Amino acid sequence: MKHRDGILFVVSAPSGAGKTTLCKGITDSLENLTHSISYTTRKPRPGETDGRDYYFVTADRFRDMVQAGDFAEYAEVHANLYGTSKRVLDDMIREGIDVILDIDTQGARQIKSHFATAVFVFIMPPSMAILEERLRNRKSDREDEIRKRMRRAVDEIRDYGLYDYIVVNRDFERALSELRSIVVAERCRTKLLRNNWIEDLLR
Ligand code: 5GP
């Protein structure tokens, strides 16, 4: 019998802020915490696997899923569609498993209006100059793509007020430790406990 429902941790960041590595770091280092696998219409990158990184689907399949109400949230990001399965989230919450949603700010807004107890974390780069440098160091994006991501980063950072916590990723280990502390503290919140557990304890 679980003591509480699973918690949704929504983590957003501008591209290049180190969110993917941080999310992987935290799911590797904490028990009972899993990463929600999104559906996307974008093509897999080298090294990505269907069912592990994303469920890669066609635009038609994605639209059918939207029509069927399968998504807890979905959004268009960089001309591709991304969405989170409602069924998977509901199952995890019921089973008391905590879930990390690595989603953009549009998706975060939708989750906020449907899941009252979700926790929102924004990963901030230490400066715009460092963000640009990190994007350039990836060497995977063309100049116009880097410009586009930098413009989008400004819009995303302006949405910081949606989030409960800000983690500045200047130093990876420190950022990971802050993210871990957020998860650990949120797990101890009184309001999440299923009351019957306390009642049983007192019996
Ligand atoms: P990438 O294509 O680089 O893996 O992800 C691009 C952006 O899409 C990232 O900001 C990522 O957080 C966001 N993203 C990934 N999955 C989802 C999702 O299911 N919903 C939303 N709204 N954004 C997502």
Q: Is residue 1 part of a domain?
A: no
Which residue minimizes the CA distance to atom 3 of ligand 1?
15
Q: Give 75's strand partners.
A: 82
Per DSSP, the residues of 84-117 read: EEHHHHHHHHHHT-EEEEE--HHHHHHHHHH-TT
pLDDT given at position 95:
94
Which residue minimizes the CA distance to atom 21 of ligand 1?
103
Tell me how far the alpha carbon of residue 195 is from its chain's centroid. Answer: 28
Alpha-helical segments (H) within the chain: 19-29, 59-67, 86-95, 105-114, 128-138, 143-158, 172-187, 195-202
The model's pTM is 0.94
Kindly give, in sequence order, each residue whose CB lies less than 8 Å from that of residue 44, ignoring residues fewer than 6 positions away: 50, 53, 54, 56
Which residue minimizes the CA distance to atom 11 of ligand 1?
103
Q: Which domain holds residue 119?
A: 8-202
pLDDT given at position 194:
78
Q: Distance (Å, rounded) from C-alpha 166 to C-alpha 14? A: 13
Number of domains in the chain: 1
Q: What is the Å distance from ligand 1's center to 117 Cα?
A: 21
Quick check: CB of 73 below 6 Å from ligand 1?
Answer: yes
Q: Give 83's strand partners.
A: 39, 74
Q: Is residue 137 part of a domain?
A: yes
Q: Quick check: 119 and 164 in contact, CB under 8 A?
A: yes
Q: Output the domain CATH number for residue 70.
A: 3.40.50.300
Divide the 203 residues of the chain into consecutive groups of 10 and give the mean pLDDT of each group.
87 93 95 96 94 97 98 95 97 95 97 95 97 87 88 96 97 97 95 81 88
pLDDT given at position 87:
96
pLDDT given at position 193:
80
Q: Distance (Å, rounded) from C-alpha 49 to C-alpha 136? A: 25
First to last CA, the chain: 16
